[in-house]
Chains A and B, each alone.
Chain A
Amino acid sequence: MLTKKQSLYSVVGKKVNRVDAYEKIVGGARYVDDLAFEDMLFAKMVCSTIPSGRIKKIDKSRALKLKGVAGVFTAEDITGLNKIGCVVDDQPLLAKDAVRFAGEPFAVVAAETREIAEEAAGLVDIEYEPLEPVLTVDDSFSEKIKVHPKGNVVCHYKVRKGDNIDEAFGKSFKVYEKTFTINYQEHLYLETQGCVALPENEGITVYGSFQCPFYVQGAVSTALGLPLAKVRILQCVVGGGFGGKEDVPSEYAAKAALLAYVLKKPVKLILDRAQDLMVSSKRHPMKMEYKVGVTKKGKINALKVRVLADSGAYTTLSTVVLFRSSVHFGGPYVIPNVSGDIIGLYTNRVPCGAYRGFGTPQVIYAMESMINIICNDLGLDPFEFRKANALKKGAASITSHKIKESCGLIETIDKARKESEYDRRKKEFDKWNADKSKRTLKGLGVSSIFYGMNLGAKGWFYDKAGSHIQICRDGSVTLCVGNVEMGQGAKTVLAQIASEALGCEIGAINFTNVDTGIVPDSGPTVASRTTVMSGNALLDAANKLRKKLVAAAAESLKIKPNQVMAKLGKYYNIKDSHQFVSFKDLAGKCYLDNVGLSEMGYYVSPKVEYDLQSGQGEPYYVYSYATAVSEVEIDKKTGELRVNKMTCAHDIGRVINPMLASAQVEGGVAQGVGYAIMENMVSEKGHIKTLGLSTYVIPTTKDCPEVKSVFVEDKSKDGPYGAKGLGEPSLMPVVASVVNAVSNAAGHQFEHVPVLPERVWEVLSEKNSSEDESEVK
């Protein structure tokens, strides 16, 4: 049912087709590797083959002798600073004295062709003194070997709430303890990392596949020693990011830019899949120790958590990723006594950083597994237990953030139960599982989440966004924002917002890709923030333009400005919709009247207050919420897993585009299912072994479940039209709910992700043999 207010909107809330669909379908979209320039050189990075060692000597001579090689650059050739760390200055652009992970670049080659560059990369000689690597978080935590001179702790976030935690557990009716581990996840964007750098106007222009053109601008400026204004970043069409193109592209763009700037030629650097898998950041593996106390009434009264996260060889974004873990490790629940320690640790492995969900899917998996254990042990209903502990307006999170508005968690729990037909399915599955002749076991799993919107307390100073709107004299509209379209549908949703606010038709809008020369620094396209941040920045600009258009329309229609309404390309008299002036004519009139129809917009995320010492305060201004229910089936004899269905209920405030929102949920489910039961990055002695698409296996459509997505629209006062974010929440409950379903089917809570058939088979075989034994007895 539409409320009276909703029905006022003509574009927002509608199933508008993707504005970029056509060019992608016909192959017209230009990705960075489609770009070619005269005299363009091709670059290739030369990477460490050992996980840890001192660099004794790098010899470029053999590579430089190869015909067609234009340059071989090492740390000493950097014209600016040899630093690339986004948050902490611990990472060189090119390794100089030491290598700290297998795959760390120490040189970069430019040559006339891709093939020559490849060959030359193999001719750059390096002599190392190998050192014993640190490969586990436990070894790192012991600090026996230091990855960096300052020690192995990247960051340590504490959350302390309530009384003495041990006393609190003493008052619990029952206490549960468990340790969980979780492996890497690779983003596996279809388009690998890449960029092209062009020397232009005594500066540099970089085209590429980025999530944050402004980070790239900063990194290039630092590496080249150029002012920011001399560095222009132009966003290409992006073939997927998922967090993997947040900070990481800066590393490649700075290298390509350096080569281009010094050699005075365009330089293209595209990573092949193997190098991309080896070098680029991943989702943090974690070891998570959980202790949960519950009261007789089924309330969580105490939670103690210690997480050791493998940050890899450099900080990259670990400090902000793990801040999120520290806010979300207790789930969307009210828990009076909390003690949490989230510790990021250096190892001699690939750096870990941003990935859809940003340090939360891991801890959600652990917390929601604990809830599954508790519900099974005490015979409690998984929905009622979650509702009894759920955050709601007026209640406070584990960081004592009192929720004031836009909290639809309980509605998502109710909707997920109803829409998944949980109660009927549960009965059917119990009956199915009781029948020993059946080859499979079936299970249902539940998980609930909350997710802080935007960058929060730890990143507030980055949390701004700009926009630029220009209305041409023929009524066509150019939009430019600072956040990128990377497949998530941002262009479409933002065009809807602009179209609604301007009263123009969506077809009149032309979206240009991000150009750092046009819009101000808008922070990264991450944290599910684009709809809210760029949406609000567009509203800011659009409202200024609308005022001018309304004034012009009032003049044309000879009515007062407050009698003008605008919708779908028409400005009309609110009392008589037949009396109108078209958007096109208004634009023409303003042009002739010398009324400027070009405006900048700007928006800053609501300020939040947080105390990092105690981990208490408002980490984020508002949260999205979700509950997911999974149906899985496991083969008793092979341990093979199939996720048959997922029902996901999301509270994302106003749904700007229901079709794209559902698509976002489907994508999140696919990626989450892969993480839960399939994607297994194997490393040996610090070397990743799964460096290809045939070994790092992600789900095909045949492996993906049927997805039913439903929405709760508890509007957020700060969101454009009340919207909140969905990009990451779409993935976040998936792993936990799938693993809970598998665990419920197998009768064993799985303590490691991914849950592979080999492990399921092992568990079921052990159970079988012990059942056989008990039969004999």
Chain B
Amino acid sequence: MLRNFKVLTPASLNEALYVINNIEQPFRFLAGGTDVLVRLKDNPAYAQALVDISKIGELAKIEEHKSTFVIGSGVRHEALLAYGPFIENYNGLIEAVAAIGSPQIRTLATVGGNIGNASPAGDSIGPLMAFDAEVELRSQDSNRIVKLEDFFTGPGKTVLKHNEIITKIILPKSDALKSGWKRLGQRRAVAISKVSVTLALGFVKHSNGSDRIADVRIALGAVAPTVIRARKAEKFLLENQTLTKAVIKEACGLVAREARPITDIRSNTEYRSEMCGVLLGDLIEKLACAR
């Protein structure tokens, strides 16, 4: 019921922090609105107020610092896709974000919204997690940085407190990493991922001239209550250093076992687990060849 429904539109971050510190009704943020408005329409009890942070300019910037990129939580997906340094060095992120929804959705939806929504299938989350991104959470009287990996506690659940806003996503520079992202959906566009895998690989030249793995990050989407890192497979690849057929096969088997998917209306447990391995294999092949 929308009779007592409130929409508050703070003009600045400080105003927004004040608003959420003092608001009494259960509220939701309106950033891009591509999820919140749909849910509200389906279920009027979803929120009694919206705090519209979509017009706060300071949240909509991407900044380059010495060792990091700082992405404002209000940056729209299309803006992220147009940002030169990401196109050059963060292929996995670009691939993932380009697959979110449709052009209409990407024009409105924000990076902070995709994270705050905390869907295990959130497509931008895997690559950000693989790049060890952190989020800045601010309230009127506090400011904390949380690793993205520690931010999610379950489907739709995060450590964000009721008076906090996700303000920034801090993305470490990682020019040495090559990355890629792949997913399977129920169709080829405007699809919710039923499994997604991000892989980032760094290589060093060994004294014998061959390439050795120096760094490896794997993130899995839609196969656990949150997006997860596949630590066992990462460790295994790092220890083995070279990408022989046997090593790749073993790593693919490991990610399949690290996944903890469910059977739901989109897919089933066994398929999702196995596909983590298949997609990882595809990504290894792609990144190893691309060097």
Q: What is A's interface to B at a CB cutoff of 8 Å?
A: 115-116, 118-119, 274, 637-640, 678, 680, 682, 689-690, 694-695, 697-700, 702-703, 757-758, 761-762
Closest to B282 in A: A637
Q: Answer yes or no: B141 CB below 8 A from chain A CBs.
A: no
Q: Write the chain A residue with the least CB distance to B267.
A: A758
What CA separation (Å) do A640 and B44 show in the bound complex?
A: 38
Decide if B2 is an interface residue (CB 8 Å cutoff).
yes
User: Which chain B residues have a beta carbon within 8 Å of chain A's beta carbons?
Assistant: 1-3, 42, 44, 184, 186-192, 265-268, 271, 274-275, 278, 281-282
B187 touches A757 (CB 8 A): no
Contact check, A115 vs B1: say whether CB atoms are below 8 A apart. Answer: yes
**A689 in contact with B265 given A115-B1, A115-B2 (CB within 8 Å):** yes
Most chain A CB neighbours (cut-off 10 Å) among B187, B191, B282: B187
Task: Return chain A residues, CB-CB under 8 Å to B267.
Answer: 758
Enumerate chain B residues within 8 angstroms of A690, measured Cβ to Cβ: 265
- A700 pairs with B187, CB closer than 8 A: yes
The distance in angstroms between the C-alpha atoms of A638 and B164, with both chains bound, is 41
Take A118-B44, A119-B44 as given contacts and tell me if A702 and B184 are in contact as well, using a CB distance cutoff of 8 Å: no
B278 and A638 within 8 A (CB): yes
Contacts of A703 in B (CB 8 A): 187-189
In the complex, which of the residues B187, B268, B275 contacts A697, with contact meaning CB atoms closer than 8 Å? B187
Q: Cα distance A84–B243 when bound, in Å? A: 68
Give bound CA distance, A116 to B2, whole Å: 9
**When A115-B44, A638-B278 are in contact, do A702 and B271 touch as well, CB less than 8 Å?**
no
Q: Can you identify 30 A-B contacts, CB atoms within 8 angstroms?
A: A115-B1, A115-B2, A115-B44, A116-B1, A118-B1, A274-B42, A637-B282, A638-B184, A638-B275, A638-B278, A639-B271, A678-B186, A678-B187, A682-B265, A690-B265, A694-B192, A695-B266, A697-B186, A697-B187, A698-B187, A699-B187, A700-B188, A700-B189, A700-B190, A703-B188, A757-B184, A757-B271, A758-B268, A758-B271, A761-B271
**A690 to B188 CA separation, bound complex (whole angstroms):** 19
> Please, which residue of chain A has its CB at the minimum distance from the CB of B185?
A697
Q: How far is the CA of A637 from the CA of B191 in the complex (A)?
A: 20
Task: For the complex, give the distance between the alpha carbons of A682 and B265 in Å.
Answer: 6
Establish whether residues B278 and A637, one from each chain, have CB atoms under 8 Å apart when the complex forms. Answer: yes
Q: State A703–B191 Cα separation when bound (angstroms).
A: 11
Q: Binding site of A, secondary structure by majority: helix, strand, loop or mixed?
A: loop
Can you add 17 more A-B contacts, CB < 8 Å, to A698-B187, A757-B271, A761-B271? A115-B1, A118-B1, A118-B44, A119-B44, A637-B282, A638-B278, A639-B271, A678-B186, A678-B187, A690-B265, A695-B265, A697-B186, A697-B191, A700-B190, A703-B187, A758-B271, A762-B271
Instruction: Determine the distance from Cα of A222 to Cα of B17 in the docked complex, in whole angstroms.
Output: 60
Closest chain A CB from B192 CB (angstroms): 6
CA distance A137 to B162 in the complex (A): 51
Asked, given contacts A119-B1, A638-B275, A694-B192, whether A702 binds B187 with beta carbons under 8 Å apart, the answer is yes
Q: How far does the alpha carbon of A762 sit from the alpha carbon of B265 in the complex, in Å?
A: 17
How many Å from the CB of A224 to the closest CB on chain B? 32
Q: Which residue of A lies closest to B272 (CB)?
A: A758
B1 to chain A: closest CB distance in Å?
5
Complex formed: what's the CA distance from A678 to B2 in Å?
37
* Complex CA–CA separation, A489 to B207 (angstroms): 71
Write the nearest CB–CB distance from B75 to chain A, whole angstroms.
Answer: 24
Q: Which residues of B contact A115 (CB under 8 A)?
A: 1-3, 44
Task: Contact check, B278 vs A640: say whether CB atoms are below 8 A apart.
Answer: no
Give Cα distance in the complex from A757 to B190, angstroms: 18
CA distance A697 to B267 in the complex (A): 13
